[in-house]
Structure 1
Amino acid sequence: MDPYDSDSSFDDEGDFTETGVLLGYPSDEVIEDTISHLGGWPTWLDDSTPPPGEFANCKVCNQPMLLLLELHGDLPDNFPDDERRLYIFSCPRKACNRKHGSIRALRATRKVKSQPAPPKKEDKKEEEKKQPEAPKPDLGASLFGATSLTGSVSANQNPFSTSTSPAQSSNPFATPAPAPQPVKPSPQPVSGNALSETFADKVRVSSPPPTTTVKPPEAAGPSAPWPSQSEFPKPYKQFYLDAEYETMSRPSTPTIPEGVTIDNTEDDNNAGSAELKDALESQLDKVFMKFSTRLGHNPEQILRYEFRGTPLLYSHTDPVGKLLHDPKTTNPGAKVTTVGGGASRMPRCEYCGSQRVFELQLVPHAISVLEEGREGVGLGPKDDGMEWGNIILGVCNKDCGPEEVGVTGWREEWAGVQWEESQ
C-alpha cells in the first residue's frame, strides 16, 4: 500500500487528495517572497553578521561550497519571537561526491523581542490564587463541531495551512512581516486563515534534553570571515520558489517497465490490478517505488516542507534510511524524532542537546533544474554533477540561538543525504 493511502482521504469523487505537505516549485519570475530561492548567492538576516567562515567550506576538501537552497523559515506559531532562515550548501567537486560533509545545512536565528522573566515561586502562587476558575471545556464543540461562544484555534496549527488545508503543525516559509513591534502576547494563537497565496505566506515541541556533551553556543574568540564571492565557484542559476499543497490522484493500474517480466503460472482471469502491483513490487525496490510514485504525482517539485512531519525516504538500506526508518513502526505518518535516543532517530542538537525534528527535504528534480546547461564551470568536465537522491534537513526543535534581542546566531543543522543508488 502506498503511503498516501493512509495519510489522507480522497475527495467526494474519489479522484484526488490533498496532504499537509507543502511543495516548492522553481520559478524564473520574481515573486513577493524574494528571500526563498534555489541556487544563486545567499543573503543574511543581518549583512553585518554573516556565518563564521568555517561553515562555507566542504568538510572533505575544505573548499567553498555552492548554495542549493535558502529558505525564509519564520514559524510564528512555534517561535513567535524568532526570525529564522535556513540554508543548504553543497560541494560541486566530483571527488567529494558521496562523502560525509560535502553537503551542509545552516540555520540563522535572531530574537525580535525579549521574553519576560519567569515569576518567582511566591509571586506565582499568589497569582494562581487570584486567577478565576478556568471555564469548563465545551464538549459539544470538541466532539460535534459546534461553535462555542469564545471560539478556539488549535495550538498546533500549521502556518502553511489555509482554511481548507488539513490541520498540521506550523510551517515556516513565512514572508517576513514589516519590522515587528513588541506586542503583548495574546492568549489565543493566531489563525492562519488570512495567509496570502505567496510561497512565503503559505510557508509560515519539547522533552528535557539528555545529559550529553554539547558544543558551546558561540565559538570563543573571532572566527575566520565568510569568503568573498571571488573565492567561490560559479553559483547555480537562481530560481525563486512558488508553492502549493501536495495533491495526488488515485493511482492507476501499474505498467510493467521494459525489461521486467512477471512469471504468472496461474491463468486467473479474475486477477486485478492489486495482484499485478504486488507481483511487480516483489521484483523492484518497494521503498524507492513508493518514493518515485509519490513524487510522480507532482513531478516538478523540488522541495517538500512539513515542519515536524515525516520525511519521504529514498531507501531504507543506506545509512540515513537505517537511521530514520523504524521497522517496528507500521504507521506511515509516525514522526521522526529522537525519543528514547534510539538508533532509528535523528541525532540531537549538538548545541543544546534538544531533539531534532524534520523540517524539509530536497528531491531529485532540484538537480535537473540547477544543472541544466551547466558543465564543468572550471572544475573539470562535468565535475559538478550532483549524485544525491534525497537531502533531509533536521533542525533543533527549540530553535536554540542567542537570547539577546537583535543578535544573529548561527547553528549547523543535520543534513541527512541519501545518495543515488550505484549502478
Structure 2
Amino acid sequence: MAPHTEEDWSDSDDDGSASELETSVLLGLPDGPVDSVDDLRDVAVSRMGGHPAFLTAPEPDVSASQCRNCSNPMELLVQIWCPFEESPMDRALYVWGCARGECQRKEGSVRAWRNLRYNADYAKKLEAKLEKRRKQEEVRKAAEKAKEASKINPFKANGTTPAAAGAFGLGAQVFGGSNPFGNANPFAPPLQQAEPDHDDEPEEDEAEAEGHEGGDASSSSSEESLVTALASTSLEDSPWPAMPSYTPLYLNTTSEYLPSPPPKPKLPPGAQLLDADEGGKDAKWLSEAYENSMEVDHVFERFMTRVGHEGKQCVRYDLGGTPLPFGHDSVFDKLFPAPAGPPVPVTKGEFMVQPPQKRVYTPAALPKCPQCGGERVFECQLMPNLINVLKSSSADDARPGKLTEEERKKEIERALKAENSTKRRGMEWGTVMVFSCKSDCCPEQKKNWAEEVVLVQWDE
C-alpha cells in the first residue's frame, strides 16, 4: 500500500483514530532494559539511555555531550543505528539532553551528533547496484523514444529509426525516481533487502541489496564490514562510562498506521455540499464556529491526535520526511511559514472570502551543513513519552522494590525542595527535532564526527 504522506498544515484538517494506512514513519518503542554487555558495546543496537558505543577509534571527545549552558556532561537520550541506504558510510546518530532545571528552554541543552565509518564492501555493492540501475534507466528511456518515434512514423520498424538508435548513445545517466535515503529500519540491525528490480537477475539483486550487512560469507569475515560490529574501543579504556546516564533500554520499531480517509457522504440527486471556503451567507455559521475556536492551539490538538494512535512512541524516524510539530510557536512558524494571503480590497462594497491558509513544510530556513554546504533534511524527533520512560526506568533501578511510608515521605520532601532550587531536574521539552546533512558528508578532519541541527519545542 502506498505510504500516506502529509506535508501541509491547516486548522481545518483532522486526523481520525483508526489504523489502516501505513505511513513512511517508523516508531521507536521501549522494549526492556539492555542487559547484555555485547549489546551495550554494539554500535548497531539502537537504544534509549545508557552510554554511547562508537564506530571509529579514537572515540569522540566527551565534550560532545556537554550542555552549552552549564558545561556539564549530559545524559544520552537515544542512539540510533541509521545508515543511509544510498551512502557507503556506516552511520549512527546520538542525541544528548540536559535535565538541569536552569538549562531548560535554552538553546544548546539538547545536542545531536552523527558518527560515520566507510564501509568498503557495501560501497562496491552500492556502485554495482547503481550502475545496473543506470543501464536499466538508459534502456527504458531508449524504449520510450523508440515508441514515440514509431507513433510519429508508423511505417518504420521499431528500433530502426535514428531516434531509437541515438537513444542508446546517451551515455551514463543518474538514476532517478527512487528515495535517496531508502526505507531501511533505523532502529534495529536485522537484515534489510532492497526491493527487487524485477528483471531477469534476481540472484544478483539479492547480493547487491544486502545493505550495510557486510554481504556474503567472505566479506562478513571482515570485522570492519559488519553491521553488528562491536565498538572499536574498549569501554574500560574510555572516559565515557564515567559520564551520567539513564538506564539503557532497547528501541523496538514498528510502522505507523493512520485511519483511512472517511468516505464521502452520499447526497440526493441535485443536492450540493456547501464548502465553507466558498463563502456566502449560508457559510456564516461555519466561519463563526471557526472564529470561536481561534484560541485553541490546533497544531497541538493535531499532535495529540496523531500520537494517540500509538501512545508508547518515544522516537519518530522519517528521513527526508515531514516533522510533526508539537504546537504553534516560533519553531512551527520557522518550519511551516504562513503563506502570503491575497491583497485586501480597499474599495467600499467589495468583499473577499479567504480560504483557510495552508502551511507547507519548508526547510529553507535551516542552516546549511558547515562541512559541505549541503541542505539539511528532517531525520527524526524525540517524543514526550521518552522523558517518562527514561525517568521511570532510572528511578526503578535506583530504588528497587516498593518504597516504605517513611521513604515515600522523604522522596516527596526532596521533590518539593527541588522545585524551588536551582538543583531541580527534569526535561521540559515537547519534542526534539533532528535535521541532518542530506549528503551524509564525512568530515575526515574531525574523525568522521559531526554535529547535526536540533530544534526544540518546549512544553508550555
Say if 2:32 is the partner of 1:28: yes
Moved more, 29-38 or 103-112: 29-38
Amino acid at match of 2:336: H
Contact residue 358 and residue 393 of structure 1 kept, 8 A: yes
Say if 2:337 is the partner of 1:337: no
**2:441 is matched with which residue?**
400
Amino acid at match of 1:73: C
**1:268 is matched with which residue?**
none
**2:459 is matched with which residue?**
420
Secondary structure (helix, strand or coil) at the match of 1:372 reads: helix
**1:245 is matched with which residue?**
255
Amino acid at match of 1:104: R
Say if 2:64 is the partner of 1:58: no
Contact residue 336 and residue 357 of structure 1 kept, 8 A: no
Q: CA deviation at 1:315?
A: 2.3
Aligned CA distance change for structure 1 residues 402 and 321 (closer, same or farther; 3 Å): same
**1:265 is matched with which residue?**
none
Amino acid at match of 2:111: R
Contact residue 8 and residue 361 of structure 2 kept, 8 A: no
* Structure 1 residue ranges without an equivalent (≥5): 8-13, 117-130, 141-151, 161-169, 179-186, 202-224, 253-270, 339-344
**2:366 is matched with which residue?**
346
**1:69 is matched with which residue?**
78
Larger radius of gyration: 2
Could you report, residue by residue, the CA deviation over 1:16-61 in whole angstroms, capped at 9, with x for unpaired residues?
3221111111101669996111111111113x32113321211111
Secondary structure (helix, strand or coil) at the match of 1:155 reads: coil
What percentage of aligned pairs have identical amino acids? 32
**1:84 is matched with which residue?**
91
Amino acid at match of 1:393: V
Aligned CA distance change for structure 1 residues 276 and 24 (closer, same or farther; 3 Å): farther
**1:155 is matched with which residue?**
178
TM-score, with normalisation over the residues of structure 1? Answer: 0.61
**1:208 is matched with which residue?**
none
**2:328 is matched with which residue?**
316
Q: CA deviation at 1:322?
A: 2.5
Aligned partner of 1:327 among 329, 338, 356: 338
Q: CA deviation at 1:278?
A: 5.2
**1:357 is matched with which residue?**
377
Aligned partner of 1:293 among 283, 287, 305: 305
Aligned CA distance change for structure 1 residues 51 and 104 (closer, same or farther; 3 Å): same
Whole-angstrom distance in 1 between the partners of 2:109 and 2:325: 20
Q: How does 1:266-305 map to 2 (within 5 A)?
A: 281-305=293-317
Amino acid at match of 2:391: E
Q: CA deviation at 1:385?
A: 0.9
Q: CA deviation at 1:304?
A: 0.8
Secondary structure (helix, strand or coil) at the match of 2:143 reads: coil
Could you report, residue by residue, the CA deviation over 1:157-210 in whole angstroms, capped at 9, with x for unpaired residues?
7633xxxxxxxxx664462879xxxxxxxx999689x999xxx99xxxxxxxxx
Aligned partner of 2:101 among 57, 80, 94: 94
Secondary structure (helix, strand or coil) at the match of 1:358 reads: strand
**1:207 is matched with which residue?**
none
Amino acid at match of 1:159: G
TM-score, with normalisation over the residues of structure 2? Answer: 0.56
Secondary structure (helix, strand or coil) at the match of 1:242 reads: strand
Contact residue 48 and residue 251 of structure 2 kept, 8 A: yes
Moved more, 367-376 or 59-68: 367-376
Please tell me the root mean square deviation across aligned C-alpha atoms, in Å: 4.6
Amino acid at match of 1:322: D
Amino acid at match of 1:328: P
Aligned CA distance change for structure 1 residues 419 and 6 (closer, same or farther; 3 Å): closer
Could you report, residue by residue, the CA deviation over 1:284-317 in whole angstroms, capped at 9, with x for unpaired residues?
1111111111111111111111111010111232
**1:106 is matched with which residue?**
113
Q: CA deviation at 1:327?
A: 1.3
Whole-angstrom distance in 2 between the partners of 1:322 and 1:419: 14
Whole-angstrom distance in 2 between the partners of 1:277 and 1:16: 30
Q: CA deviation at 1:366?
A: 0.8
Say if 2:400 is the partner of 1:388: no
Q: CA deviation at 1:154?
A: 4.9
Amino acid at match of 1:324: L
Aligned partner of 1:43 among 53, 58, 61: 53
Contact residue 363 and residue 377 of structure 2 kept, 8 A: yes
Contact residue 323 and residue 433 of structure 2 kept, 8 A: yes
Aligned CA distance change for structure 1 residues 354 and 158 (closer, same or farther; 3 Å): closer
Whole-angstrom distance in 2 between the partners of 1:138 and 1:174: 44
* Structure 2 residue ranges without an equivalent (≥5): 10-17, 125-137, 148-174, 193-200, 214-236, 263-282, 341-356, 399-413
Whole-angstrom distance in 2 between the partners of 1:304 and 1:420: 18
Whole-angstrom distance in 2 between the partners of 1:20 and 1:133: 28
Q: CA deviation at 1:374?
A: 4.8
Aligned CA distance change for structure 1 residues 328 and 132 (closer, same or farther; 3 Å): closer
Whole-angstrom distance in 1 between the partners of 2:139 and 2:389: 59
User: How many residues are paired up?
Assistant: 310
Whole-angstrom distance in 2 between the partners of 1:375 and 1:29: 13
Whole-angstrom distance in 1 between the partners of 2:395 and 2:101: 12
Q: CA deviation at 1:89?
A: 0.2
Q: CA deviation at 1:276?
A: 12
